[in-house]
Structure 1
Amino acid sequence: MLWFWILLRIVLTPIMYLLWRPRNRGMRNVPKRGPALMVSNHLSFADHFFGPLPLMRPILFIGKGEYFTGKGIKGLISKGFFTGVGVVPVDRTGGSAAEAALQTGLRILGEGKLLGIYPEGTRAPDNRLYRGKTGVARLALKSRVPVIPMAMINTFELMPPGKPLPRLGVRPGVRFGEPLDFSRYYGREDDREVLRAITDEIMAAIRELSGQEYVDRYAAEVKAEMAGKPVRPVRDDDDDDENDDDENDEDENDAGENDGGAAARTGRDDGGRTDGG
């Protein structure tokens, strides 16, 4: 990932600030060192670039091992790209994907790094915020690291489904909230009610930052309906890991992540500030 981080900081950062003038705030809430769980809404492929942009530390994400095992030139490109944007592969052979993702996340946090999680489990089909999956809560309780809510702003309009490049004239941004404290729940990571309560609290914090409308349904179910596909009920403990957002979409522009339909209104404006608080 080092090559991409250097490229982003030296080459892409000035270009991104010049062309899109992103509005960022709350960076002081992200620890300068040590592990933290970064929990975010997920609106666009552009989130991978504009989310970490104002930080001086990379954010790692968990992804399917299949991204890294392709053959030929296409496989090499896929592996290089996902490695570059900070995706860490999960080995799903011989066990539960959810457990494999959990153990991978714990390893990343144990190394003192920032781990990014999209609790919705997939990109939202529109500009609304959807019900979170409880894997994020289990990881928060087992790791006992700071949980930092973050909200992507305007990235759906910036790079909506089917668009290969970000639009000009849209100002994206990211907001980082104050750390969430779940110490009162430590030792209760097998309590489903506790996991749901923590997940709902995380989603409420993201909503407060983003100003999005909240939908108490799983995004994957809504996307299936919009595509005219059979709806597979999503469980809180679904085997899909929390960053695994390529649910069989093959017609989009983003190397395996799925998208859905129409845009809704974006979250509130922050007045154009780019600051640390």
Structure 2
Amino acid sequence: MSRFLLKALLGLLMRVLFRPRVEGMENIPESGPVILAGNHVTFIDSLFLSLIVKRQVYFIGKDEYVTGRGLKGRLMAWFFGTAGMIPVDRDGGHGGVAALMTGKRVLDEGKVFGIYPEGTRSPDGRLYRGRTGIARLTLMTGAPVVPFAMIGTDRVQPGGSGLPRISPVTVRFGPALDFTRYDGMDRDRYVLRAVTDEVMSHVMRLGGQEYVDVYATKAKAAKAADHGKAA
């Protein structure tokens, strides 16, 4: 009930303030497991995705969002939990495995799992190389992948922080991608890379972003190093 109320109230507020344009919603299956894979440009991408999609979307989030103390900590834990976030310690040595297995459990239950193959927010608005976790998920579960693109959320929340600004947003979903032809090949690194690159290619075409064949985390580290040298 709390999830329904939160989605109804925030969804109404979102439609009034941002008037998001949604394209391709019919590409999301009405039932059964499905992976929503898209670009990640700002913190509120997951919120927009959860409010726009009719079905409940589950996604991975940092456990620090739900471990805070006091009233603020409890409110944040309730909000993110109600919004569909599943907390995972991604900074630990087994963070990647934990995230992967959490996604598999969600899909095995016939639900919708949202993922950003880049692994982190884009440092400059461009689309970066996808990590192969998306490929492992679809090959392990047989769930179709619906690519999507968030367009304009970076103008709503520039830099990924601060109060949102009123700016138009478009969320575009592409046709579902079926990778069952690679059944049983979820440990083949060449297949995993090919599947991941195919997903990212569709995301790129949907959003029109410039593509960079480098991991976003590496780009962020290089940028931080350059700032350190300049200082």
TM-score, normalised on structure 1? 0.76
Q: 1:17 to 1:66 in 2, by over 3 A?
A: closer
Report the identity percentage.
51
Q: In the aligned structure 2, how far is the partner of 1:92 from the partner of 1:155?
A: 24
**Which residue of 1 is the match for residue 121 of structure 2?**
123
Letter aligned with residue 214 of structure 1: Y
> Partners of 2:14 and 2:132 in 1: how far apart?
34
The gaps in structure 2 that reach 5 residues or longer are: none
- Please give the alpha-carbon distance, in whole angstroms, between the structure 1 residues aligned to 2:132 and 2:33: 20
User: Measured at CA, do residues 159 and 30 of structure 1 come closer, stay the same or move farther in structure 2, by a change above 3 Å?
Assistant: same
Q: CA deviation at 1:41?
A: 0.5
CA-CA distance at 1:184 after TM superposition: 1.5
The equivalences for 1:58-207 within 5 A come to 58-90=56-88, 96-161=94-159, 163-168=161-166, 170-207=167-204
Secondary structure of the residue that 1:81 maps to in structure 2? helix
TM-score, L = length of structure 2:
0.90
Q: Which amino acid aligns with 2:173?
A: F
For 2:47, the equivalent position in structure 1 comes to: 49
Stretch deviating more after TM superposition (77-86 or 67-76) = 67-76
2:212 paired with 1:215: yes
Secondary structure at 1:207's aligned position in 2? helix
Q: Is the 8 A contact 1:44 1:160 kept in 2?
A: yes
Name the CA shift for 1:228/1:5 in 2 (closer, same or farther; >3 Å): farther
Query: Where does residue 35 of structure 1 map in the other structure?
Result: 33
Contact 1:126 1:156 in 2 (8 A): no
Structure 1 stretch 29-38 or stretch 13-22: which is displaced more? 13-22
SS at match of 1:189: coil
Conserved? CA contact 2:50–2:83, under 8 Å: no
Do 1:43 and 1:155's aligned partners in 2 also have CA atoms closer than 8 Å? Answer: yes
CA offsets 1:147-188 (integer angstroms, 9 cap, x no match): 1101101111111116422212x2112111101111121101
More helix by share: 2
Answer whether contact 1:50 1:172 (CA < 8 A) is retained.
no
Amino acid in the other structure paired with 1:201: E
Q: CA RMSD in A?
A: 2.3
1:75 Cα offset (Å): 3.0
Which AA in structure 2 matches 1:123? R
Residue aligning to 2:13: 15
Cα distance change of structure 1 residues 93 and 196 upon mapping to structure 2, 3 Å threshold: closer
2:38–2:149 Cα contact (<8 Å) kept = yes
Question: Which residue type is aligned with residue 207 of structure 2?
Answer: S
How far apart, in 1, do the equivalents of 2:141 and 2:121 lie?
25
Distance in 1 separating the partners of 2:25 and 2:92? 40
Are 1:51 and 1:173, in contact at CA under 8 Å, matched by a contact in 2? no
Residue 54 (structure 1) shift: 2.9
CA distance in 2, matches of 1:183, 1:123: 29
User: 2:109 & 2:176 partners in 1: Cα distance?
Assistant: 19
Over 3 Å counting, the alpha-carbon distance change for 1:5 and 1:227 in structure 2 is farther
Q: Distance in 2 between matches of 1:29 and 1:200?
A: 20
For residues 162 and 139 of structure 1, the distance between their equivalents in structure 2, rounded to whole angstroms, comes to: 27
Call closer, same or farther: CA 1:92–1:53 in 2, change over 3 Å. Answer: closer
Shift of 1:91: 6.3
Determine helix, strand or coil for the equivalent of 2:225: coil
**Other structure's SS at 1:51 match:** helix
Give the secondary structure class of the aligned counterpart of 2:51: coil
Q: 1:5 to 1:152 in 2, by over 3 A?
A: farther
